[in-house]
């Protein structure tokens, strides 16, 4: 067996802590907009930012849901860096897509 020097375990622990830190916010927002938190919002956040509340993409998308300025404006997010506003704004886009395409 090849050892990774504990890196995998450290990454898993870091992910678990970040996941737990935002779980209630994500789940309450999902309930509000009738989305499944584990299947959609957690998956989007993990893919977009890996729960890094300071994530910034090369395109300027920020935080957990990687909101761009355009998406933030569309969903009336005044502070893309605020975790609650970021998740609220970011989850509205998947809801829009689900409504539009079923």
What is the pLDDT at residue 31? 83
What is the pLDDT at residue 102? 77
**CATH of segment(s) 7-101:** 1.10.530.10
Task: Report the C-alpha gap between 102 and 96 in whole angstroms.
Answer: 10
What is the pLDDT at residue 56? 97
Backbone φ and ψ for 62, nearest 5 degrees, come out as: -125, 155
**Catalytic residue selected from 48, 73, 85, 91:** 48
Q: Where are the domains of the chain?
A: 7-101
Place of tokens 């704004």: 89
Could you tell me the pTM of the whole model? 0.70
Instruction: Average pLDDT across each block of 10 residues of the chain; the chain has 102 residues. List them in order.
Output: 52 66 86 76 90 95 97 97 94 88 84
Backbone φ and ψ for 56, nearest 5 degrees, come out as: -140, 130
Place of tokens 């893919």: 47
Active-site residue, 48 included: yes
Task: Report the C-alpha gap between 68 and 75 in whole angstroms.
Answer: 11
């Amino acid at each position: 067996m090849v050892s990774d020097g504990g890196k995998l375990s450290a990454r898993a622990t870091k992910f678990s802590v970040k996941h737990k830190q935002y779980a209630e916010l994500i789940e309450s927002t999902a309930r509000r907009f009738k989305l499944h938190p584990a299947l959609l919002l957690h998956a989007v956040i993990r893919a977009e930012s890996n729960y890094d509340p300071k994530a910034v993409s090369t395109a300027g998308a920020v935080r957990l849901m990687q909101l761009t300025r355009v998406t933030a404006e569309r969903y009336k997010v005044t502070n893309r860096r605020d975790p609650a506003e970021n998740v609220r704004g970011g989850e509205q886009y998947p809801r829009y897509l689900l409504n539009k395409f079923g």
